[in-house]
Amino acid sequence: MVSSSHLAAILQAVMQGMPKALSDSHYPGWHLAPVTGLLNDPNGFIHSGGEYHLFYQWNALDCAHQHKCWGHWRSADLLHWEHQPIALMPDEKYDRSGCYSGSAVEDAGILTLIYTGNVKFEDGSRTAWQCLAQQNRAGGFDKLGPVVALPEGYTGHVRDPKVWRHDDHWYMVLAAQTMARQGRVLLLRSEDLRTWQNLGEIAGSERGGLAAAGYMWECPDMFTLGDSTFLICCPQGVPSEEKRYLNSHACAWLSGSLDYAQPAFSHGPLNEMDAGFEFYAPQTTLTADGRRLLVGWMGTPDGEEMAQPTVAQGWIHQMTCIRELSVRNGWLCQQPIAELQALREKEQHYLGRASDAPAIPARRLELILESEGGIELSFADTLILTWQQDELRLTRRSLVTGEWLTRYWTGAARRLQILCDHSSVEIFINDGEGVMSSRYFPAHPARLTLRGDAELQVRYWSLRRCMVE
């Protein structure tokens, strides 16, 4: 449990850690990252009171998954962010092992957070409460306490409430694990955010036509886009295939239609959300002008995260860029938000054989490439993208064993939009039909080298810094 002495420790950690993190050559120049310690999931992403709020799972004290608070950033334009006071700290009995992930809504004009109070016991067991907190006049958050207890028939792994308004009710999707260790998503309904009725399971492993798909489905998010309802979730324990589900934990989407009354979600197959090395726990929100945006954690839990070199500099992980979702032929597509174009400096071009192209400084870079494939893009020889006619392969060395590891996107890539920051590369394929998000830790100044005989056309921009203030 965090007490006032922990608050003093957080302050000291920030005072000591921030200068070190910010001067690390791998600290992002325009992505959101913790000023010290560990960041994981985005939380409470919302447009409210004319501004965007993005909260995040944050352990300021060290690079470990414990003492989770909700950090808070605010922005008028989704580009320039401002630090806000910590919104939630694990200082109550019902959230003493961490204020875990959740979402935000505006309730009668008041910014309201719904989060998981995680409680771990000494024997290794745990329980969880879904809790409310409301913004007060001073801008801080007052906890209103638990509103959903552990539902019967599930283990203590119940968390990550995502709440939205539909017709005259509030609805919540909640991650849960059955006693038989199957990952499930529950749908709950409320009139006032205080009293909730569990309507039942709407999706999960061995449900709705899916095969065994994991023992826990973390961070569900549900929304309607185009003619479909989408459920995004992070199934842990999905069997790896030759070219999919190769990360320690997956993030995937289902599309279908939701019958709120039954409840029943009839959906198609599970599709991986991102084919790169690091992507997890995304959250979406609606903008004032009706766009559905998404931001994810550019990390994956339980893999090689603690071997990342930034740990020695006292910080770890960053968010993805903010993306706009769209649906094309039933497929969920992601593209960088248009606002990011404001970071572009002078436009440059190249047209010709890949191997004749000049090496491009890749420290902060955006590129739009068009080709039929037959090209290799080497990011400082640390991360290598092999663009073949029917497949993309992204390769880097394991930070633990040094062996080469590969991730795949299958299909004919004709157009790539690539966004680079000091230690990340996000590759958007065919206008967002696929994405590969990955961290990499190059020696700087990093350069992008193109190889291969194929012809290509490239437009590129170096990107301005945009740090949180």
Interface with ligand FRU (CB under 6 A): 40-41, 57, 68, 100-101, 116, 159-160, 218-219, 280-281, 301
Both structure tokens of 245:
């589900």
Among this protein's residues, is 259 annotated catalytic? no
User: What is the number of other CB atoms lying within 10 angstroms of the CB of residue 449?
Assistant: 18
Question: Least distance (Å) from ligand FRU to the CB of residue 99?
Answer: 9
Between CA 289 and CA 179 the distance in angstroms is 43
Which residue in 41, 160, 221, 421 is the catalytic one? Answer: 41
Both structure tokens of 391:
């497949």
Chain centroid to Cα 272, Å, comes to 13
Smaller CB distance to ligand FRU: residue 233 or 333? 233
Smaller CB distance to ligand FRU: residue 55 or 379? 55
Smaller CB distance to ligand FRU: residue 216 or 419? 216
Question: Least distance (Å) from ligand FRU to the CB of residue 375?
Answer: 35
- Is there a contact between 322 and 55 (Cβ–Cβ < 8 Å)? no
Smaller CB distance to ligand FRU: residue 38 or 458? 38
- Is there a contact between 449 and 359 (Cβ–Cβ < 8 Å)? yes
Distances (CA, A) of 431 to 219, 268, 318, 428: 26, 23, 23, 6
Smaller CB distance to ligand FRU: residue 68 or 143? 68
Smaller CB distance to ligand FRU: residue 16 or 66? 66
- Is there a contact between 348 and 459 (Cβ–Cβ < 8 Å)? yes
DSSP run (H or E) holding 385: strand 383-388
Between CA 448 and CA 359 the distance in angstroms is 6
Between CA 51 and CA 287 the distance in angstroms is 10
Smaller CB distance to ligand FRU: residue 39 or 367? 39
Both structure tokens of 283:
């959250």
- Is there a contact between 396 and 276 (Cβ–Cβ < 8 Å)? no
Q: Which of 330, 329, 328, 324 is nearest to 228 (CA)?
A: 330
DSSP state, 239?
P
Cα dihedral 173/174/179/181 (nearest 10): 90
Both structure tokens of 346:
């002078």
- Is there a contact between 319 and 39 (Cβ–Cβ < 8 Å)? yes
Question: Least distance (Å) from ligand FRU to the CB of residue 62?
Answer: 14
What are the phi and psi torsion angles at 462 (to 5°)?
Answer: -80, 150
Between CA 85 and CA 76 the distance in angstroms is 17
Question: Least distance (Å) from ligand FRU to the CB of residue 390?
Answer: 33
Secondary structure of 14-77 in HEC code, one letter for each residue: HHHHHHHHHCCCCCCCCCCCCCCEEEEEEEEEEEECCEEEEEEEEECCCCCCCCCEEEEEEECC
Smaller CB distance to ligand FRU: residue 222 or 413? 222
Smaller CB distance to ligand FRU: residue 214 or 442? 214
Q: Which amino acid is at 267?
A: H
Question: Least distance (Å) from ligand FRU to the CB of residue 94?
Answer: 15
Task: Classify 360 as helix, strand or coil.
Answer: strand
- Is there a contact between 134 and 192 (Cβ–Cβ < 8 Å)? no
Q: Is there a cis peptide before residue 263, judged by omega within 30 degrees of 0? A: yes
Residue numbers annotated as active site: 41
